[in-house]
């Protein structure tokens, strides 16, 4: 298999020597990015339920990612619909991450960690917010700035636990 860039070869070597597994065992105080070896069987544990985080911004819709284009970032596996999206993510991963760990924004605003539906989302001020469902999305959209402020305060408390 031939790779066009040295960066691709570097990531392949990292995956081949098992660094991806080592990253998951390290403390999460450092930022880690590694491509996931597509020959490794991946079943569960995808961030955003396997949706491409970049597609929310580029396509303005939820798009399922491809397991052959997986990236591990700080212990979470992200999938991408195409190489361009994966490469964009690699340049600035934090820009594309869903807020509040991918939990429902309204739920976090209420101090709860509710799973979110990756197909129910908003992008506000360049940040991705997920909702539990359309009904909950309608509730939090009545005062997005207020609920985002509440969620940010609660998120700090939740992370401190």
Q: How many domains does the chain have?
A: 2
18-69: per-residue pLDDT in tens?
A: 333 333 333 344 566 555 544 333 345 799 999 999 999 999 999 999 999 9
At residue 130, does pLDDT exceed 60? yes
Same domain, 152 and 114: yes
Same domain, 91 and 13: yes
User: What integer is the mean pLDDT of 129-153?
Assistant: 96
Same domain, 22 and 92: yes
Same domain, 68 and 113: no
Same domain, 51 and 123: no
Compute the distance between CA of residue 148 and CA of residue 100 in angstroms, rounded to an integer: 10
Residue 1 lies inside a defined structural domain of this protein: no
Same domain, 84 and 130: no
What range defines the domain where residue 77 resides? 6-96
Q: Which pLDDT belongs to residue 14?
A: 34
Q: Quote the strand ranges of the chain, DSSP E.
A: 33-35, 66-73, 76-80, 117-124, 127-131
Residue 125 lies inside a defined structural domain of this protein: yes
Residue 1 or 79, more confident? 79
Q: What is the pTM of this model?
A: 0.75
Q: Which pLDDT belongs to residue 159?
A: 85
Same domain, 138 and 64: no
pLDDT tier at 1 (50, 70, 90 boundaries)? very low
Same domain, 151 and 136: yes
**Of 96, 131, 151, which one is at a domain's C-terminal end?**
96
Average pLDDT for the chain: 80
Among the ranges given (33-47, 64-78, 117-131), the one the predictor scored with the smallest mean pLDDT: 33-47
Same domain, 122 and 149: yes
Q: What is the dihedral of CA 48, 87, 83, 57, to 10 degrees?
A: 50
């Amino acid at each position: 298999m031939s790779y066009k860039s040295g960066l691709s070869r570097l990531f392949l070597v990292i995956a081949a020597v098992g660094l991806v597994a080592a990253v998951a065992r390290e403390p999460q105080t450092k930022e880690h990015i590694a491509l996931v070896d597509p020959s490794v069987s991946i079943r569960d544990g995808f961030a955003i339920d396997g949706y491409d985080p970049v597609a929310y911004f580029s396509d303005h819709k939820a798009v399922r990612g491809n397991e052959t284009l997986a990236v591990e970032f700080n212990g979470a596996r992200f999938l991408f619909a195409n190489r361009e999206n994966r490469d964009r993510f690699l340049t600035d991963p934090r820009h594309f991450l869903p807020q509040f760990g991918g939990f429902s924004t309204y739920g976090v605003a209420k101090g709860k960690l509710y799973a979110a539906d990756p197909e129910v989302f908003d992008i506000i001020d360049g940040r991705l917010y997920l909702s539990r469902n359309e009904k909950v999305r309608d509730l939090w959209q009545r005062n997005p700035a207020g609920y985002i402020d509440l969620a940010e305060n609660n998120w700090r408390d939740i992370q401190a636990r």
